[in-house]
Amino acid sequence: MTEGWKPILGAGGDASGPIRADLAQARQNRQQRLVQIAVALALGIGLSAVVLTVWIWRIAFAELPAIPGKEALWSLNRPPGITFLDTSGQVMGLRGFRHGPPAPLNRLPPYLPKAFLAAEDQRFYQHHGVDLRSILRAAKADVVAHRVVQGGSTLTQQIARGIFLTPDQTLTRKLQEAALALRIESLMSKDEILDLYLNRIYFGSGAYGVEAASHTLFNKSASDVNLSEAALLAALPKAPSRRDASSNTLHSAMRRSQWVLHRMARAGWISTAQLQDALAHPPVLAPEPQGEVDYGYVFDVAQAEARRLAHGASPDLVVRLTIDPRLQAEAVRAVRAGVAAAGGRGVTEGALVALGPEGEVLAMVGGLDHRESAFNRANQARRQPGSAFKPLVYAAAFETGVTPEDMVKDAPVSIDGYAPSNADRGFLGDITITQAIVRSVNTAAVRIAHQVGPDKIARLARRFGVMGLPDNPALPIALGAYEVSLLDITGAYQVFQTGGRQTTPFLVDQVSNARGDLIWRRNPVLPTPIYDDHRAGQMVSILRQVIESPAGTGRRARLDRPAAGKTGTSQNYRDAWFIGFTPDFVAGVWVGDDHDRPMRGVTGGEVPALIWRDFMLAAHKGLAPREFPNSPGADPRAPFYRILSREFEAAMRPDPVAPDPKPAEVTAPARSEP
């Protein structure tokens, strides 16, 4: 067997040849597979890169806004601001956002732009809109801190974000920001970009641009700021909402400004002596202009009204108001002095409204300090007017045929369980309607209201401009149980002053854009006749006695000229009012507490009457006394002339007296609180 076996041999009898061939083929096959895998992987990576690029382009750049010419960047998407003018066209103040005039680099002290570079972008002149070194440094700091502590955005990126993008911290936003920054850098020089940045960046306190910020904080031009002030300005754009230098977080802004100064010194932009001097002399903020404080409530109302009237026609508005600056200052002074004098009696807030003959708001004080509370007690608050509502009750009675000489009983009254008493708990027996109003007798008012009907009283009050009353009021309406605004009820009293004509209160007279183009103007309107002038004259005569009679509840409001008015005190002394007028002005005053806490015996004939008198004496300074229309000795040229038509006289005829209604149950209405 051994002899018959022959191994298979290669050439020359060597068997290793086929094995090597097989190994070589195997290697070749592996190499081919690796090449195929590499090609497939490369194709996959390339395809993925294409897909990723398309995806990134679609989410980040497909809707990237186009950049207009560099001149347009100065005003593009600029937040709106409002300039308020008084009746003479003088600037009263600004609201919304302040945009200062351009402050070119060549007019600024050299350390001011350098302070911004130190704070925000020290390598500004070395990069092309995106600074990769800053991005990596910021990323490292964020990883170490496990939170976002640095942003890495250049000044150019901040411009792009501020003009074109939202402040959202997303990858898409950052990619868009970078792309826009590169485009801006290709469009403008470095100096132009820095110039744009300084004039467009937000500084807090409603100020855009370094010039507006400098005037807001220091009451000086940006060209006049010193080194420490420049550092504070540079400290604000990083986070103005948290480092707003006009807020209670000034300490944080000051601390950051010191850091800015040290960075400037390390960069060699200021000397050690300059650094030490700036640290030793920190900036001092200018006090807020007193006029702006006094006009806070006025501007709130006017801003909302102007926006409504403009219908979005212009981002920047110039609004002419009806406010008389002298009367506004006197109103603010009178309210603050009166409330301060009565502070020990639980009076914590006050409000005043004054109207001119056409209903124009000449003064509005919504509270003691707009900075402490923006809640406007002149037109937002709704409080119980108490007896200040009674003239409207009796005005409705006059339309049913009741006269000032008619008799009414002052005696205990109880109607369907409603049994109010007089403030002094006493009774006078049979008295005239005039006496009932002058002495503010509660029982008489309830009897008259029951006779007339609460629904008719509410309809008349709404006709006079008092809003918010229920459709089916109950008998307590006789004593002012339903809440009203000071502005509404003051406007209602003007119907008596104007001889039965309604003049709806208004504050805005004209709205224009920043270029001076007229957007809206109030057309002169004759007062609308809504009440018989003879009956209005009767009410004026009675309300004069409220002030002039020794028995009148408003005798503390007596002036050196004809005046009429009415006091009001709500239940438990929670509100005290005085509403009154002369032939020249109508004014209303309220005092009380925002949280509905009772005052200590304060009535409408005390603190409010004294505030009203204080204001009215100042308001009439230099004006000659004159009589009310239709009164003996009245000036026939008085503005409230007779304009009744036959149709109006017919419309003003008394309604038939309705049967005594059963008053509905009244519930305490909710109060408006700040």
Question: Would you name the residues annotated as active-site residues?
Answer: 120, 387
Bridge partner list, 651: none
Q: Cα separation of 568 and 560, whole Å?
A: 23
- Buried (b) or exposed (e) across 601-621, using 16+ Cβ within 10 A? ebbbbbbbbbbbbbbbeebbe
- In three-state secondary structure terms, 449 is helix
Residue 84 CA: distances (Å) to CA of 78, 294, 607: 19, 13, 32
> What residues contact residue 244 under an 8 Å CB cut-off, 6+ apart?
204, 205, 236, 253
Name every residue whose Cβ is closer than 8 Å to that of residue 132 and which is 6 or more positions away in sequence: none
Q: Token pair for residue 361?
A: 């708001």
Ramachandran bin of 499, using left for φ above 0, alpha for ψ from -120 to 50, beta for the remaining angles: left
Residue 418 per-residue DSSP state = B
The type of residue at 607 is: V
Q: How far apart are CA 152 and CA 177, in angstroms?
A: 12
CA–CA distance, 219 with 203 (Å, rounded to integer):
15
- DSSP 3-state assignment of 484? strand
* b/e sequence 260-284, b meaning 16+ C-beta within 10 Å: bbebbbeeebbeeebbeebbeeebe
Report the phi/psi class of residue 238: left, alpha or beta, with left for phi > 0 and alpha for psi in -120 to 50.
alpha
Q: Locate the DSSP E strands across 491-640.
A: 501-502, 508-513, 518-521, 528-529, 564-569, 575-581, 586-592
